[in-house]
Chains A and B, each alone.
Chain A
Amino acid sequence: MRFGVVVFPGSNCDQDCFDVIKNALKQDVEFIWHKTTSVDGFDCIIIPGGFSYGDYLRCGAIARFSPIMESVIKFANNGGLVIGICNGFQVLLEAGLLPGAMMRNTNLHFICKYVDLKVDATDTPFSSGYNKGQVIRIPIAHNEGNYYIDDKGLAELKKNDQIVFRYVENPNGAIDDIAGIVNKNRNVLGLMPHPERCSEKALGSDDGLVVFKSILKWLDDRK
């Protein structure tokens, strides 16, 4: 399978994602510079973490209008798999591919640590390798991870089983302990924790690799 990692000015988790796909998942992977206007030939697009455009105005607000995003939105609307991690999640929210918005952490601190997550939805291309209710450890590293959505939107997320990961102990004030969600069609995932930072045993944990293995299995099953 062929994975693409989008690179904005200020992305800084792009190399980690690339490395995991190439060396841990052993699949083809390429960087996609944000000025590119096509994602043809890719099976999955990764929007990595970082500080795209310096997080100016709002996190992800400028990156969302990068030339590449138009084709990413089209790709997603045609059912293509898109995963946004941390800043990538913020970009997907700003782009309207996922509902809600991101606010500053309630304690106003940048939080960088391992957290426990509960897997609440396994019926997605990104989480099928986990067991429902399983608790996994994945690091977070963000200042704006306080997920917000209005009551109506939250009810919709719950009704459609779109909340994939929840914090066991809420670190940032996110509504309903939300750490990661999928869109209604379940082909777009956004999550604040960094699975690419814990996908090899040598790094202390490979709990995150299951996300990428789940994607691969989903793609393999459909080829």
Chain B
Amino acid sequence: MFEAQIKVTLKKTVADPQGQTIKHALESFGFASIDQVRMGKFITVTLKAKDSAAAKDESAKMCAKLLANPIIEDYSIEVKPL
């Protein structure tokens, strides 16, 4: 069994209103050093696969099909054995 940890983030070229708002809130608490805040999604999928390469491959298919919208989002996947 493997666990795929999938990060879905807005592309760098796409404005992120949530990240902007979080940045402003943090700054209002006195965190003056912030350059940028970007908001994304974190998804874990546990799955059966013959090895971690196969688990990663399967997870990438899930991202392409459903988990990310390629028009506005990028994704990254890390797989670890359970």
Contacts and interface: CB of A to CB of B under 8 A. Distances in A.
A108 B21 CA distance: 8
A106 B17 contact: yes
Given A57-B66, A61-B66, A65-B66, A105 B17 contact: yes
Interface in A107-152: 107-108, 146, 148-150
A141 B62 CA distance: 31
B69 A108 contact: no
A104 B17 CA distance: 7
B21 A103 contact: no
Given A108-B21, A148-B71, A148-B72, A103 B66 contact: no
Main secondary structure of the interface of A (DSSP, over half): loop
B60 interface: no
B53 interface: no
Contacts of B71: 100-101, 148-150
A25 B56 CA distance: 53
Contacts of A148: 14, 71-72
In this complex, the interface size class of chain A, counting residues with CB under 8 Å from chain B, is 10 to 19
Interface string B51-74: 000000000000000110101100
27 contacts: A57-B66, A57-B67, A58-B69, A61-B69, A62-B66, A65-B66, A94-B69, A100-B71, A101-B69, A101-B71, A101-B72, A103-B14, A103-B15, A103-B17, A103-B72, A105-B17, A106-B17, A107-B17, A108-B17, A108-B18, A108-B21, A146-B17, A148-B71, A148-B72, A150-B13, A150-B71, A173-B15
Q: Which 3 A/B pairs are nearest by Cβ-Cβ distance?
A: A101-B71, A101-B72, A106-B17
Nearest to B10: A103
Contacts of A65: 66
A104 B18 CA distance: 8
Interface string B1-22: 0000000000001110110010
Interface string A86-108: 00000000100000110111111
